[in-house]
Amino acid sequence: MKDEKMKVVSLYPPALLVLSGKKYIVPMWQQVPMETELSDIDWSRPESKQLEVDPIIKQGFVTGSTGNEYFVKLHKSGKAECECWGYRRHKKDCKHIKGFRNEKL
């Protein structure tokens, strides 16, 4: 009986796997002693930062070079979205987003 539990932080419950005579905790592939059992593991989920909302700090229409208007949104994290074809295809800042960022807030 071990006096200390092994702390494991992962999104999914860990499992024990024996490979080439060695025992691992998956999914993190951490090697553990052969006598380790699941009851020796103290499993917890990581604190979720993914679920935090990313508020929009600025949004509005930007007029493109062809005269079309595109709706651009800037998020607090620095992410931006534009509805133009270029942004949707490449998923990176287009000229509308760049122009929008350079405007004063």
Are the C-beta atoms of 103 and 90 separated by less than 8 Å? no
Nearer to Zn ion, 50 or 102 (CB): 102
Task: Give 25's strand partners.
Answer: 16, 30
Token pair recorded at residue 80: 């931006």
Q: Which residue in the set 24, 82, 93, 100 belongs to the binding site for Zn ion (CB under 5 A)?
A: 82
**How big is the site for Zn ion, counted in residues (CB under 5 A)?**
6
Nearer to Zn ion, 14 or 96 (CB): 96
Q: Is 87 in the site for Zn ion (CB under 5 A)?
A: yes
Judging by beta carbons within 10 Å of its beta carbon (0-12, 13-18, 19+), is residue 4 exposed, middle or buried? exposed
Q: Is 96 in the site for Zn ion (CB under 5 A)?
A: yes
Q: How far is the CB of 84 from Zn ion (least distance, A)?
A: 3
